[in-house]
Amino acid sequence: MSEKELNKFGEGVGFERIRRITGYLVGTVDRFNNAKRAEVNDRVKHGV
Amino acid sequence: MIFTVKKRDGREMPFNIEKISDAIIKAFRASGELKEQIKASQDQIDLLGHEDLLSSTALKVAAYAVGRLEAEGKNKPDIEEIQDAVEKALTECGYGDTAKSYILYRAERTRIREVNTRLMHTLRDITFSSAKESDLKRENANIDGDTAMGTMLKYGSESAKHFYTMMMLKPEHSRAHSEGDIHIHDLDFYSLTMTCCQIDLKKLFKNGFNTGHGHLREPKDIRSYAALAAIAIQSNQNDQHGGQSIPNFDYAMADGVRITYRKSYLSNMVKALILLTGKTEEEIQPVVKKLHTEMAEMGMVATLVPNEKFVEAEARELSKTFDAETVMKAQKFAEKMAYEETDKATFQAMEAFVHNLNSMHSRAGAQTPFSSINYGMCTEPEARMVMKNLLLTTEEGLGGGETAIFPIQIFRVKKGVNLNEGDPNYDLFKLACRVSAKRLFPNFSFQDAPYNLQYYKEGHPETEISYMGCRTRVIGNNYDPTREISYGRGNLSFTSINLPRIAIKMKSVDLFFKELDRMLQLVSDQLMERFAVQSKRKVKNFPFLMGQGVWIDSEKLGWEDTVGEVIKHGTLSIGFIGLAETLVALTGKHHGESEASQELGLKIIGHMREFCDKESKRLGLNFSLLATPAEGLSGRFVRMDKKKFGIIPGVTDRDYYTNSFHVPVYYKISAFKKLALEAPYHALTNAGHISYIELDGDPTQNLDAFEKIVRYMAEVGIGYGSINHPVDRDPVCGFVGVIGDVCPRCGRSEGHAISEAKIEELRKLYPGMPVFRGVR
């Protein structure tokens, strides 16, 4: 294998998930406090 | 014999009886018990100072206390044991009153010590735990609690809260707050400033402004308009604790486009004439410039959509020097080029504006300014160019394709202006839907909702409805009904009521309303207390907000004047959270499940609104009812209620109380039914409100459905709404969209790596891909 195939990037890097709380967007769910994190987990989608 | 004592921290110190007698002297002074005797002894023997009687008595009592300790065999007593002995000694020696004041003194010292210990614990938590472990550090998701400045901000904030709770709040307000009956928001800024302001950019730009570090001239180009707009938001953010909002972004930026077009038209006209006539710039430029200046003095200027008056006059005048065909050709060239250049400059200006608001710092670098901008109803071509380019740059995202977190964009929807086909800004409404479906912004505000429409006067943009990011709304004005406008006004402070607790405690509806009334009055009094503190602040305490005339009428005040009168234009808001849990506690069902509960919900919130209106009348101020956003609060109240009342199904069984009047997020309901149920509460909550819809999947694939929801919001009388949908991003390959377990672009799953070869291959397909850290 070539060097470029052996060189790996992104180990341990998660996906960013932008969500809206209290009107503001937040870059990623990691920054939410525990209560808001629980709320985001509970959210169900609304049918159209 | 006692030779050493044990201090609170465990260290042993040499025993000193004077320390005990000093404390006793203080207690005698406080009780005044020896006053008479001292006076008598002074009269008798002048040579012996009165202090001596006091000291000798104190020493006697101290010795008695020490004797007790020794008798009990306590040869190395600790502080508590000594204090116990002193208490008993005072009583047994017949100084009952002094014993009482000594006990009080002890209790007060204990209280201060405990508060200090609690504060120290808090500070230790801030210092040594990372935001990942510390909920305290994630209280506000937009502040990075891990950075040096974020931590410093937290030290200040937590210490200030302790100080105000101990020293400034009335005990009943302090108790209600710490026990969780109410929540005084932004308590750390209690004595310092007000919440937020809607900045009239047009007025601010008129003569330039001063940031406190230098004067900025009136801007002369759309790029400087946009740069100064960001600076204005940043400067004002440092004078207030809440967010900053621009109510007239479209109207204000349009001026910048006008100036840019005029300048660009002039330079392109010069270029065209040079090329067509073969003359030099020195020959052409002064002629055209002089002509344009003279025409401008007569009110004729080049405009984005060419106006006949200018075009004809210019042609006539230029034809005196150049031949008519040359002039016509030059005009066509200049119009086309100036349009293109202005469009490009406007895009760049908007791009820089969004970038600035996501990168410039406020509050010692701990966060970017909380900013909102309202737009949508200005139909001038220049404003339309601003809105189009702002939306396009938002759609594109930041440098690495990231979704911009700031500013919160609010698109104002109105029939006849932008809602329907054939309306002059309908194209922008469509574009706003498309961008929001990808980037979550803009949100939508609804000018035609009756409670918003009642203030609207056509041709007066200051009467258009504005919202500030977290939902704040300031428009009605009981203090001065001739100024029912959004410009230059904002919220002063707000305090929220723990509604579910009242319901849990009172159980019956009748008793609920009684207790609610008591709580409303308590909050009103507390808001007035804070208002009195805020009123004493001076213009110099707000160098930008008041010093630069951003707040309404502040330009009429001097540097040393207090702001008490002008802040009466602001609002004092009473908020609430957890209507859903309240209804469950009272009736067993929330308003999503039962019509009767919806009826009761409206009765409760309607009652709260009536109270606010009554208080406004009684006090001549602006009390308003807020559907509290509750970020930190959503967990705080329920945590305390769980401890107090245990787990009650549907009430305290989750980690959060439901946002304001929302139908609970976990409840399955259609988008339309949710909106129809929530809309009547928008009409009642005049301090601000927002409703959310959660959409599944990627709404850019179904824009019709997206638009249908926005239209339905307008139809049922929602004031402010937005649609949530997942926006994910893979920082390695830069993909933005919905990511399940696997990134659809690079195929990696969360936490897994891909090879450099794969990245190179992807870059050929997606040249705009960001460069991931460490990749060459």
Is B728's Cβ below 8 Å from some Cβ in A?
A: yes
Asked if the Cβ–Cβ distance from A25 to B440 is below 8 Å, we say yes
**How far is B210 from B216, CA to CA, in rounded Å?**
6
Asked if the Cβ–Cβ distance from A46 to B693 is below 8 Å, we say yes
Q: Contact at 8 Å (CB) between B398 and B392?
A: no
Asked if the Cβ–Cβ distance from A48 to B753 is below 8 Å, we say no
Asked if the Cβ–Cβ distance from B638 to A15 is below 8 Å, we say no
Q: B124: part of which helix (H) or strand (E)?
A: helix B96-128
Chain B CB contacts of A41 below 8 Å: none
B196 phi-psi bin (left φ>0, alpha ψ -120 to 50, beta other): beta
Asked if the Cβ–Cβ distance from A46 to B669 is below 8 Å, we say yes
| Residue B776 in this model has a pLDDT that exceeds 80 | no
Chain B CB contacts of A34 below 8 Å: 135, 138, 635, 655
Chain B CB contacts of A15 below 8 Å: 728-731, 739, 743, 750
The alpha-carbon gap from B496 to the nearest alpha carbon of chain A, in Å, equals 15
A-chain residue closest to B658, CA distance: A39
Sign of CA dihedral B551, B552, B556, B560: negative
CA B343, B346, B349 angle in degrees (round to 5)?
Answer: 155
Is A18's Cβ below 8 Å from some Cβ in B?
A: yes
Chain A CB contacts of B440 below 8 Å: 18, 20, 25
| Buried b or exposed e, range B25-55, using 16+ CB within 10 angstroms | bebbeebebbeeebeebeeeeeeeebeebbb
Q: Tell me: the pLDDT tens digits for B468-483?
A: 877 899 999 999 999 9
The residue with greater pLDDT, B115 or B298, is B298
The beta-carbon neighbor of A38 closest among B132, B656, B772 is B656
The beta-carbon neighbor of B757 closest among A5, A22, A30 is A5
Going by C-alpha positions, the residue among B71, B76, B103 that lies closest to residue B88 is B103
What pLDDT, on the 0 to 100 scale, is given for residue B142?
Answer: 63
| Residue B411 in this model has a pLDDT that exceeds 90 | yes
The alpha-carbon gap from B757 to the nearest alpha carbon of chain A, in Å, equals 5
Structure tokens at B635: 């967990």
Q: Given the structure tokens 């609920």, which residue do they identify?
A: B512
> How far is the CA of B61 from the CAs of B23, B30, B73, B108, in angstroms?
11, 16, 19, 22
Asked if the Cβ–Cβ distance from B405 to A46 is below 8 Å, we say no
Asked if the Cβ–Cβ distance from B666 to A42 is below 8 Å, we say yes
What pLDDT, on the 0 to 100 scale, is given for residue B44?
Answer: 62
| Residue B742 in this model has a pLDDT that exceeds 60 | yes
Asked if the Cβ–Cβ distance from A20 to B139 is below 8 Å, we say no
What is chain B's mean pLDDT, rounded?
92
Average of pLDDT values for B580-599?
98
Asked if the Cβ–Cβ distance from B403 to A25 is below 8 Å, we say yes
Average of pLDDT values for B63-74?
91
The alpha-carbon gap from B238 to the nearest alpha carbon of chain A, in Å, equals 19
The residue with greater pLDDT, B741 or B562, is B562
Is B635's Cβ below 8 Å from some Cβ in A?
A: yes
The residue with greater pLDDT, B16 or B132, is B16
Q: B101: part of which helix (H) or strand (E)?
A: helix B96-128
Going by C-alpha positions, the residue among B633, B746, B511, B716 that lies closest to residue B182 is B633
Using pLDDT thresholds of 50, 70 and 90, give the confidence band for residue B114.
confident
Asked if the Cβ–Cβ distance from B753 to A32 is below 8 Å, we say no
Chain B CB contacts of A23 below 8 Å: 408, 443, 469-471, 629, 690, 722
Asked if the Cβ–Cβ distance from A32 to B739 is below 8 Å, we say no
What pLDDT, on the 0 to 100 scale, is given for residue B368?
Answer: 75
Q: Which residues of chain A have pLDDT under 50?
A: none
- Sequence-distant (≥ 6) Cβ neighbours of residue B424 within 8 angstroms: B379, B417, B418
Percent of chain B clearing pLDDT 70 (strictly above): 96
Chain B CB contacts of A38 below 8 Å: 635, 654-656
Chain A CB contacts of B636 below 8 Å: 35
Beta bridge partners of A19: A26
Is B537's Cβ below 8 Å from some Cβ in A?
A: no
Q: Tell me: the pLDDT tens digits for B478-501?
A: 999 999 999 999 999 999 999 999
Is B637's Cβ below 8 Å from some Cβ in A?
A: no
**How far is B506 from B504, CA to CA, in rounded Å?**
6
Is B731's Cβ below 8 Å from some Cβ in A?
A: yes
The alpha-carbon gap from A1 to the nearest alpha carbon of chain B, in Å, equals 11
Q: Given the structure tokens 């996906």, which residue do they identify?
A: A15
**How far is B38 from B16, CA to CA, in rounded Å?**
26
The residue with greater pLDDT, B365 or B313, is B313
Asked if the Cβ–Cβ distance from B753 to A42 is below 8 Å, we say no
The beta-carbon neighbor of B632 closest among A4, A10, A33 is A33
| Residue B104 in this model has a pLDDT that exceeds 90 | no
Q: Tell me: the pLDDT tens digits for B508-521?
A: 999 999 999 999 99
The alpha-carbon gap from A40 to the nearest alpha carbon of chain B, in Å, equals 8
pTM of this structure: 0.85
The beta-carbon neighbor of B772 closest among A6, A9, A48 is A9
Going by C-alpha positions, the residue among B108, B169, B198 that lies closest to residue B466 is B198
Asked if the Cβ–Cβ distance from B753 to A10 is below 8 Å, we say yes
What pLDDT, on the 0 to 100 scale, is given for residue A11?
Answer: 87
Q: Tell me: the pLDDT tens digits for B638-683?
A: 999 999 999 999 999 999 999 999 999 999 999 999 999 999 999 9
Is residue B469 exposed (0-12), middle (13-18) or buried (19+ Cβ within 10 Å)? Answer: buried
| Residue B140 in this model has a pLDDT that exceeds 70 | no
Q: Tell me: the pLDDT tens digits for B334-373?
A: 999 999 999 999 999 999 999 999 988 776 556 678 899 9
Asked if the Cβ–Cβ distance from A9 to B753 is below 8 Å, we say yes
Chain-centroid distance of CA B401 in Å reads: 26
Partner A, chain B 467-496, Cβ-Cβ below 8 Å: 469-471
Partner A, chain B 737-776, Cβ-Cβ below 8 Å: 739, 743, 748, 750-757, 759-760, 772, 774-775
> How far is the CA of B576 from the CAs of B196, B377, B645, B680, B687, in angstroms?
19, 32, 20, 16, 11
**B571-577 vs B491-498, strand pairing mode:** parallel
What pLDDT, on the 0 to 100 scale, is given for residue B43?
Answer: 64
Is A20's Cβ below 8 Å from some Cβ in B?
A: yes
Chain A CB contacts of B709 below 8 Å: 48
Average of pLDDT values for B229-238?
92
Q: Tell me: the pLDDT tens digits for B162-183?
A: 889 888 899 899 999 999 999 9
What pLDDT, on the 0 to 100 scale, is given for residue A20?
Answer: 83
Asked if the Cβ–Cβ distance from A39 to B656 is below 8 Å, we say yes
The alpha-carbon gap from B158 to the nearest alpha carbon of chain A, in Å, equals 17
Asked if the Cβ–Cβ distance from A36 to B728 is below 8 Å, we say no
Structure tokens at B270: 């010069």
What pLDDT, on the 0 to 100 scale, is given for residue B694?
Answer: 95
Asked if the Cβ–Cβ distance from B469 to A39 is below 8 Å, we say no
Asked if the Cβ–Cβ distance from A8 to B755 is below 8 Å, we say yes
Asked if the Cβ–Cβ distance from A21 to B756 is below 8 Å, we say no
Partner A, chain B 143-182, Cβ-Cβ below 8 Å: 144
What pLDDT, on the 0 to 100 scale, is given for residue B184?
Answer: 96
Is A16's Cβ below 8 Å from some Cβ in B?
A: yes
Q: Given the structure tokens 């949508």, which residue do they identify?
A: B376
Chain A CB contacts of B135 below 8 Å: 33-34
| Residue B686 in this model has a pLDDT that exceeds 70 | yes
Asked if the Cβ–Cβ distance from A26 to B141 is below 8 Å, we say yes
B-chain residue closest to A16, CA distance: B729
